[in-house]
Amino acid sequence: MKKGLIVFAREPMPGQVKTRLAADIGNHAAAELYETMLQDVLKTASQLSDVDAVVFWDCEEESLPVLSDKYCCSSRRQSLGDLGQRMQWAFEEMFKNGYGLCCIIGSDAPDLPSSYIQDAYMLLSTQQSNVVLGPCLDGGYYLLGLHQVWPQLFVNIPWSTADVLEQSLAVAQGSGLTVSLLPEWQDIDTLEDLLAFQERSRLTLARKV
């Protein structure tokens, strides 16, 4: 069964990415950091066996071929609408193109273990779960995995709040869907998140020495 990975990304332009973080470190530094995180996420995606990654960009139409060449990735533009509408459309496009299992991740968890993504496909392929979610420390989720589109997961969710995961779980369970949760992880939206990431990186490096 074909496995697809949707990566949601933005064109790394100052003032357009990581605005909460930019309030502390500045627009240019935030854009540079975002680009580095995106490259790390794409590197992780490229190392997944038997998984086709497609980046869905929030960008102008004329930027798409430039971004596709620069980052050496399969690329599509995101649809219009709120985050839920854009995610639903991306899943629908992937399933329409023959993928039987599909996960979506963002571009702001550069050290997300690839094993977590592989575990999501395993849970979906063994039919243990209709839905796989990767919880974030901030109350959102870093991954959503499906084997078909469940539209109710993408509407009436308070996106970009601390209630995203809780509401998504309630909707899924209320619809009779089986849900599996991956280990919790921390993406990078704020200066506090960045400092925590740097500490994780320091500890990882120390263990390797």
Q: Which pLDDT belongs to residue 128?
A: 77
pLDDT tens per residue across span 125-161:
987 799 999 999 999 999 999 999 999 999 999 999 9
pLDDT > 90? residue 54:
yes
- pLDDT bin (cut points 50, 70, 90) of residue 180 is very high
Burial of 93 (0-12, 13-18, 19+ CB in 10 A): middle
CATH of domain 3-208: 3.90.550.10
Q: Which pLDDT belongs to residue 60?
A: 92
Question: How many angstroms separate the Cα of 3 from the Cα of each of 67, 73, 99, 160, 189?
Answer: 23, 16, 6, 27, 28
- DSSP-assigned letters across all residues of 46-78: HTSTTEEEEEEEES-GGGHHHHHHHHT-EEEE-
Q: Which pLDDT belongs to residue 209?
A: 54
Q: Which helix (H) or strand (E) holds 11?
A: none
Q: Note the pTM of the prediction, 2 decimals.
A: 0.94
